[in-house]
Structure 1
Amino acid sequence: MHGRLILYSGPMSLSLLCLSSTCGTTGRWECEQDACLMESDMINGINRGNYGWRASNYSQLYGMTLDEGIKYRLGTQRPSKTIMNMNEMQNEQLPQYFNSTEKWPGKIHEPLDQGNCAASWAFSTAAVASDRISIQSMGHMTPQLSPQNLISCDTRNQGGCAGGRIDGAWWYLRRRGVVTEDCYPYLPPQQTPAEASRCMMQSRSIGRGKRQATQRCPNSHNYHNDIYQSTPPYRLSTNEKEIMKEIKENGPVQAIMEVHEDFFVYKSGIYKHTDVSFTKPPQYRKHGTHSVRITGWGEEKNYDGTARKYWIAANSWGKNWGENGFFRIARGENECEIEAFVIGVWGRITMEDMHKHPHHHRRRHI
């Protein structure tokens, strides 16, 4: 007989356990000893403490274990040693606050939702390339590039919804190119028939490194199957000023970060990994690798007058997570390793492209 056990009363606490219990032969509840993604103890501990950010319960994450959250909601593998050894590019006055959405209105794209598909490698790559192409073309081209195109077609040493590497994604964007989200829409794995997950977009070379689609859009209502490409990505210095300068001059960047158990419940404020689960058993303290898009920075004053510096970053968990799909995270101290591996890129854009795209694809921008 199956049941749903919501609350487990421990010696000192009332803790939310997972909703996947069975009622044993003795008539007593037997619960799986997994940590929940939405732990009420952790949420209350964060909100009672003076951590500088607020936590919340998210209905779309309810009922998932922490292991499932790390398995299905992240999905970027750590770069290989050779990629980590990419050269870092090597002091002007920088403002206290900067947000790409304000400098480049209509050219910075809204956060998408990867659902339970561990493909942040594809979502963060497509998002940064979309913003950079829009900025670089001065708004002549404002494509929201298709993560699904990468998930289904960039299969060389990549795991699709089981995780992948950003260096592989950038290789594909440079050598093969991708179409827009409108042309090749994202389908979460649970809504995708097996045949739909195969690659439905190929391209061929038309000279000078440019490519052209050889198939129609999977979305039959869209006829714009233009292929967008990038140049090779470049790694930034781990110095916060260098990262800030790059964002201010050229647009959002891609960053890899370690996601801990408390990040899933982030609601608002300046995130720092907390110690609320430190006294709990190991299954409550886990982390995985994720990739996100950094779009700006700022600082807030503490009561004592000291500054709390932060990055503004876009996640890919939908707009009802965090601060409208974005989050702020401590800046200048490599919080969750967010400053350890940061990537910039250029779109491959010619004057011919500029004339060919008289301001179309205007949807889903901030």
Structure 2
Amino acid sequence: AGAHSSPWVLGSCTCSGNGKWDCEQHACLIDGEMIDAVNRGNYGWRAANYSHFWGMTLDEGIRYRLGTIKPPPVVMHMNELMDTNEQLPSHFNAADKWPGLVLEPLDQGNCAGSWAFSTAAVASDRISIHSMGHMTPALSPQNLISCDTRNQQGCSGGRIDRAWWYLRRRGVVTDSCYPFTSREKDSASAGRPCMMQSRSTGRGKRQATQRCPNPQTHSNEIYQSTPAYRLSSSEKEIMKELMENGPVQAIMEVHEDFFVYKSGVYRHTPVMAGKPEHHRRHGTHSVKITGWGEVRTPQGQTQKYWVAANSWGKHWGEGGYFRIARGANECEIETFVVGVWGRVSMEDMRRRK
């Protein structure tokens, strides 16, 4: 994106595309000095000036572009699957192993619903992979945002453990049946009642009790998952699970410089350390890890990384994906990682042959 735009007004303040305010009580989400500092430094990644973030404050970026609430301690400390000593390849991409079965990055807009988007994305991939391509649903984040309301906050944030509980007990329909309509922060999920409830129709199959909100789609079948399981925080265990069973979901802390990530292997930088505190913000996000790899740095060292799908659209990062340092718990991305299996019966498999 370019560096200039008409200013956006907040009270007595204006914010333009170069990240400058004419007053000091707010920090822009896009900060030209931060972008320049990252690109001048030797940090291993490049920053970009994204026009779709122009006019937003950093606080608004944290409030509207993330949206995952950390699970309570009892969930954060649930039993982990044990580590492995298995030899694993230096590079892996789930979309290469399972072509056509891994969803492309989604776009949550200004709905703080990463909890629903990452859950729907991982569940979609796992059902497609587990059914060996007989079922390839792109599940509906909106179904979770509008209907998974018990102790959840829709487009104001939610917990992934509650989302997986809902997928196991209730299930969700496809995105084509129940499309995303809460793209802007002002529309949120307030005033958008749940339009889909599920019921069993025998033989383990569930269908929604209502027709699809999208009248062009007639299949209101409900998809469910097994209970989610937590992986060890060891990179080898996460890699083994990813290679054998498909993409996994991870919680991470997003800092102010992550919003301007364009390419390379991300690590949180100290470029804003000398600025006032309101220029340094972070919040909790959830993403889908789809692969890993490594690169040689100019200093001759090996930099290992994860490949992850964000939910900020394909115009952000590396086509909607980002790479982040692996094996160092960068931004806490290895602290809480979960997998799940889609609930797929032999009847499902036969019915779709």
TM-score, normalised with respect to structure 1: 0.89
Please, which of 236, 261, 264 is the counterpart of residue 231 of structure 2?
Answer: 236
- The aligned counterpart of 2:33 is 41
Please, which of 263, 280, 285 is the counterpart of residue 285 of structure 1?
Answer: 280
Q: Say if 2:126 is the partner of 1:136.
A: no
Runs of 4+ in structure 1 off by over 6 angstroms are 193-196
Q: Say if 2:50 is the partner of 1:58.
A: yes
Superposition deviation, residue 192 in structure 1: 4.8
- The aligned counterpart of 2:263 is 268
Find the aligned partners of 1:94 and 1:77 in 2 and give their Cα distance.
Answer: 32
Q: Map 1:209-224; keep pairs closer than 5 Å.
A: 210-224=205-219
CA 1:89/1:277 → structure 2, altered by over 3 Å: closer, same or farther? Answer: same
Q: Secondary structure at the match of 2:52?
A: helix
Verify the 8 A CA contact 1:21 1:32 in the aligned structure 2: no
Q: Map 1:343-358; keep pairs closer than 5 Å.
A: 343-358=338-353
Q: Say if 2:314 is the partner of 1:329.
A: no
Please, which of 2, 6, 10 is the counterpart of residue 20 of structure 1?
Answer: 10
Find the aligned partners of 1:205 and 1:257 in 2 and give their Cα distance.
Answer: 36
Find the aligned partners of 1:302 and 1:172 in 2 and give their Cα distance.
Answer: 43
- The aligned counterpart of 2:16 is none
- The aligned counterpart of 2:156 is 162
- The aligned counterpart of 1:186 is 180
Consecutive unaligned residues of structure 1, counting only runs of 5 or more, are 1-5, 8-16, 24-28, 359-366
Superposition deviation, residue 334 in structure 1: 0.1
- The aligned counterpart of 2:76 is 84
Larger Rg: 1
Find the aligned partners of 2:72 and 2:12 in 1 and give their Cα distance.
Answer: 42
Please, which of 228, 242, 250 is the counterpart of residue 247 of structure 1?
Answer: 242
Superposition deviation, residue 189 in structure 1: 4.6
Superposition deviation, residue 356 in structure 1: 2.4
Find the aligned partners of 2:180 and 2:317 in 1 and give their Cα distance.
Answer: 22
Superposition deviation, residue 31 in structure 1: 2.4
Superposition deviation, residue 195 in structure 1: 8.2
CA 1:258/1:193 → structure 2, altered by over 3 Å: closer, same or farther? Answer: closer
Find the aligned partners of 1:214 and 1:146 in 2 and give their Cα distance.
Answer: 16
Q: What is the CA RMSD across the aligned residues, in angstroms?
A: 2.2
Verify the 8 A CA contact 2:126 2:340 in the aligned structure 1: yes
The residue identity in structure 1 corresponding to 2:59 is: D
Q: How many residues align?
A: 341
Please, which of 332, 340, 343 is the counterpart of residue 335 of structure 2?
Answer: 340
Stretch moving more, 198-207 or 160-169: 198-207
CA 1:128/1:139 → structure 2, altered by over 3 Å: closer, same or farther? Answer: same
- The aligned counterpart of 2:167 is 173
The residue identity in structure 1 corresponding to 2:67 is: G
Verify the 8 A CA contact 1:149 1:199 in the aligned structure 2: yes
The residue identity in structure 2 corresponding to 1:173 is: L
